[in-house]
Copies of this chain bind each other. A is one copy, B any other.
Amino acid sequence: MAIQKTAANYAQIFHALSDEKRLAILDLLRAGERCVCDIAGPIGMKQSLLSFHLKVLREAGLLRSARVGKWIHYSIHPEAGDVLESFGRELAMSAMSAKVVFCC
């Protein structure tokens, strides 16, 4: 059983995904692991800024990183997609079975 995520966890994950440039980074990494220097070019971002965005994604648990000699390789965290998928599925299920209350 996976560890239960709090609302704060989800807010952090969604915040990391709330920026087009970070979505572009994620999209680039869908093809596979890359070092920072090979992300900078395609994404078109200065080194320090890219580093900032990578940190946001990594701290949210969406990316992981590993040093390989002089370089640091980033890749999509294996569980990232599952977390989003199950959040979406639960939302879809509750929306389907939700009562129409006409509360007032």
* Chain A contacts to B: CB under 8 angstroms: 7-8, 10-11, 14-15, 17-20, 23-24, 26-27, 29-35, 37-38, 68-71, 73, 75-78, 80-96, 98-104
B104 contacts A81, C-beta separation under 8 Å:
no
In the complex, what residue of chain B is closest to A92 when comparing beta carbons? B81
Q: A-side binding surface: helix, strand, loop or mixed?
A: helix
A99 contacts B33, C-beta separation under 8 Å:
yes
- Complex interface: chain B residues within 8 A of A101 (CB): 32-34
Taken together as a complex, chains A and B put the C-alpha atoms of A68 and B17 apart, in Å, by 35
Taken together as a complex, chains A and B put the C-alpha atoms of A75 and B94 apart, in Å, by 11
Nearest 9 pairs between A and B by C-beta? Answer: A81-B92, A84-B88, A85-B88, A81-B91, A32-B99, A15-B18, A30-B94, A14-B17, A76-B95
